[in-house]
Structure 1
Amino acid sequence: MFILTLSPYSHADAINDLLTENTAADKSSDNKIISLNHTEKSDRLIEKRLHKIYSEMDDLKGLRVYVSNGIATLEGELDSSASEKKALQFANQMEEVIEVKNNLQVSHNATKRLQKTFTKLTALAEQAISSLPIIFLAFFVFWIFWVTGRWVSNKNSLYRRITINPFIADLLGKIIHLTFIIIGIVLALSLLDATALLGTILGAAGIFGLAIGFAVRDTVENFIASLLLSIRNPFEVNDVVSIDSHQGQVVRLTPRATILLSFDGNHIRIPNATVYKAIITNFSRKPERRFEFDISVGVDQDLSYAQGLVLKTLDEMPGILQEPKCQVIVHELGNSSVIVRIYCWINQQEVSLGKVRSEAIKAVKQAFDEAHIALPNPVYDIHISRDKAGYSASHHQKININNKTAIDHEIQDVAADHTLTQQIDQENVAFSDENLLDSHSEKEL
């Protein structure tokens, strides 16, 4: 309750100060201790001291000062409010001055103000003329560093020797040029004795850069992503890749986007920030690539013979690698057919994946026709019977297979396929330093 009672009075004091235009300088006298030994001689000493101070300043000359019992009265005409505040401040700082009465008037005479402004401009012009040699020297120093930095930054052959790609080399040259420019600015400001201005410039540049950074955040993100992609190099020109569900061949990597050429001949432009975050499948990183296709076999056919016939046919086909060998597996059992899936490997640097796959399908189809292995059609059995025992299932005559010797014992091989494991192991030998996975570490459940 005590605090609430005092609160209105504190607000009243603040409002009173605002209405009476009390300044900080006026309030400084409130803290002074009033002396009991003040005399008329002390008043004359204060007057004399203030007259001497005011007479030393061009904008305070001619002021009249009267002091009585420690209360100083200032009279006169000044050119500006700044001069008025200065005069009041000096009077308040005098020892034994209790209060200052302000009878000063600020002149609004246009002639006097023009004369004062002209005097200031004349002084500034004289100062600038006297500073011309040092200004020219500062500009010359800055120009020397700017030209030198540009000459050094153009040494692209040197930077390409010490960097991993031309993009980094070009970026390094620009950073060196910017460094020379900053050094030139600092030296020029030092010659002009304006190093304090450098802090202001850097502060403003920081705020401006922060604002620009928010405005062009996507552009900056793409640029940083392009820098990281150029360092990591996840793909090269003409590589067949899949990025964020887009497939095609890599055309180029720019500071903003990765350009792909789709298999339909269309250009696909993907922002580098998206590329860096996306799952990238590079089909061209290794020359070996596997293709697959399915073929249907009738449920009444000899599946082992069919598998062996496919292996023999593809083994003689050009473009298909002998190692790793082709695989023929029974993939699925349908209502009226058995789905057989074929896997084969090619060297995509020498042959076309699409063409080899097409020829492989044609060759298997032709081999099945010659062996009288018909591709099945949907079969519907209609049962008409008066009683449960009246139906006898018909027996489909199997195709007479005479060439059983073509079936290889590898058809029954069910051992694990370590082809990809061997390829991964070989690659990890060359890039063991980049692998962060450790088989001996604790595994996540």
Structure 2
Amino acid sequence: MKLLLIVALLICLPAYGQLVPAQDNVPEDTPIKVEGTTGDKAITARLLAITSAISGMEQITASTESGVLTLSGEVANAQLKDEALAIARRLDGVVYVQDMLQEQLAVRSRLAPAAEKFEQMLTKAVQMLPLLVLALLAVLCFSWLGGWLARHSTWLRRFGLTELASNLGVRFIRVLVTGIGVLIALELLDATALVSAALGVAGVIGIALGFAFRNIVENYLAGVLLSTRNPFAIGDQIQVGEFTGSVVRLTSRDTVLMTYDGNHLRIPNSDIITLAMTNFSRNPLRRFQFDVGVSVTLDLVQVRQLGIATLTNMPGILADPPPRCLINELGDSAVALKFFGWID
């Protein structure tokens, strides 16, 4: 009996020694075993449950065989197609995803998301209609208030501002008050984030426009300087370069003159700042002069005294500054005298 056991053991030992290396060296292309088809059905059901809940993926169909998930049907756009494939690859038990999806090319299907978005916006607008009305009323009220302050600008004179500075201040106050109304309206609509975005965009656009419209910006800044320095007032008679007239108004870009022949003349504010300007209305006193020729035989001291006394006794001639007389030229037969006098 023992002999038979030993013989049986010797026969089995070679076969046992060959089984161990076979388990350690498994080939890489060995098929993955799948137990039944219950897992494939669960994968398909799970995927269809997810895609049916996502807008634009309702028409996706799927089938799973041995862990290979095949997607077919139509999706609204390429983005949804990529998202569907990404969802399929994340499912547990999926070995490979086969893409057979197609994008919808019909115009109606392409317009459907936009129509749905528009419908949502319209519904939201109807819900926010009371707030829209309040926001519109706020803008209108503050705009009316800014216009009322602009029409009653005399109160700025109480702060010692000139007429030109008052006109510029009124325009600034009107824009400021209207801007406050716009901010209140945005706050009511919960859209204050638009202000920051608008300011950021305005900064970039302002830099670009500053280079493109350099002359306009220069004239505007010159208008601000003119209103603060006050070199003339409305109605003053001024001369800028070769142009002479009465000041009608000062705008943010130019100064309007009424010429002596009745024409409106617009001069850029930058020219008034850079060019020589004469204001004939700032000082009410005017000096006149005339020449008188007398004989060389006369006493020039007596002639000078007589001329000054005659001017002093004339009505309208100011005693301060007093009249003056200068010897302008000595000739062979006559002496040219130049008399000066002042009038108001």
Q: TM-score, normalised to structure 2's length?
A: 0.65
Q: Distance in 2 between matches of 1:254 and 1:40?
A: 91
1:311 maps to amino acid = I
**Identity score, percent:** 26
Q: How does 1:111-260 map to 2 (within 5 A)?
A: 114=108, 117=111, 121=115, 124-125=118-119, 128-129=122-123, 132-133=126-127, 135-153=128-146, 154-155=148-149, 159-163=153-157, 164=161, 165=163, 167-168=167-168, 170-190=170-190, 194-197=191-194, 222=219, 225-248=222-245, 250-255=246-251, 256-260=254-258
- Residue number in structure 2 paired with 1:359: none
Structure 1 position 145, deviation (Å)? 0.9
Residue 102 (1) aligns with residue 99 (2): yes
Partners of 1:67 and 1:206 lie apart in 2 by 60
Shift of 1:178: 1.3
Q: 1:308 aligns with which of 305, 313, 316?
A: 305
Describe how 1:406-445 pairs up with structure 2 within 5 A: none
Question: Alpha-carbon deviations, 1:364-398, whole Å to 9, x = none?
Answer: xxxxxxxxxxxxxxxxxxxxxxxxxxxxxxxxxxx
Distance in 1, matches of 2:336 and 2:98, equals 110
Structure 1 residue 326: deviation in Å?
1.9
Distance 1:122 1:307 in 2: 101
Offset of residue 260 of structure 1? 3.4
In structure 1, what residue type is equivalent to 2:74?
E
Any idea what SS the aligned residue of 1:322 has?
A: coil
Q: Deviations over 1:63-108 (max 9, x none)?
A: 4365889x87644433432322222344566799898653322243
Q: Which runs of 5+ in 1 are unaligned?
A: 1-34, 349-445
Return the alpha-carbon distance in structure 1 between the equivalents of residues 330 and 93 of structure 2. Answer: 113
Which residues in structure 2 correspond to 1:296-445 (within 5 Å)? 296-297=293-294, 302-333=299-330, 338-346=335-343, 348=344
Confirm or deny: 8 A CA contact 2:143 2:181 kept in the other structure: no
Change (3 A) 1:294 1:129: same
* Contact persistence 2:62–2:69 (CA under 8 A): no
The correspondence of residues 17-166 of structure 1 with structure 2, limited to 5 A, is 53-61=50-58, 62-64=60-62, 74-91=71-88, 102-108=99-105, 110=106, 114=108, 117=111, 121=115, 124-125=118-119, 128-129=122-123, 132-133=126-127, 135-153=128-146, 154-155=148-149, 159-163=153-157, 164=161, 165=163
Amino acid in the other structure paired with 2:84: A
Unaligned runs of 5+ in 2: 1-27
Task: Report Cα offsets for 1:293-317 as digits up to 9, x if no partner.
Answer: 3344566664434333322332332
Distance 1:38 1:94, change over 3 A: farther
Alpha-carbon distance, 1:186 to partner: 0.9
Which segment is superposed worse, 50-59 or 266-275?
50-59
Q: Which has the higher strand share?
A: 2
- What residue number does 1:428 align with? none
Instruction: Give the aligned residue type for 2:248.
Output: R
- One-letter amino acid matched to 1:141: L
Residue 115 of structure 1 and its aligned partner are, at CA, apart by: 6.3
What do you get for the CA RMSD once the two structures are aligned?
4.5
Tell me: CA distance 1:91–1:130, structure 2 relative to 1, closer, same or farther (3 Å).
same
**Contact in 2 for aligned 1:54/1:63 (Cα 8 Å):** no
**Displacement, 1:36?**
12
CA contact (8 A) 1:327 1:343 kept: yes
The 1:51–1:322 alpha-carbon spacing in structure 2 relative to 1, beyond 3 Å, is same
Q: Secondary structure at the match of 1:320?
A: coil
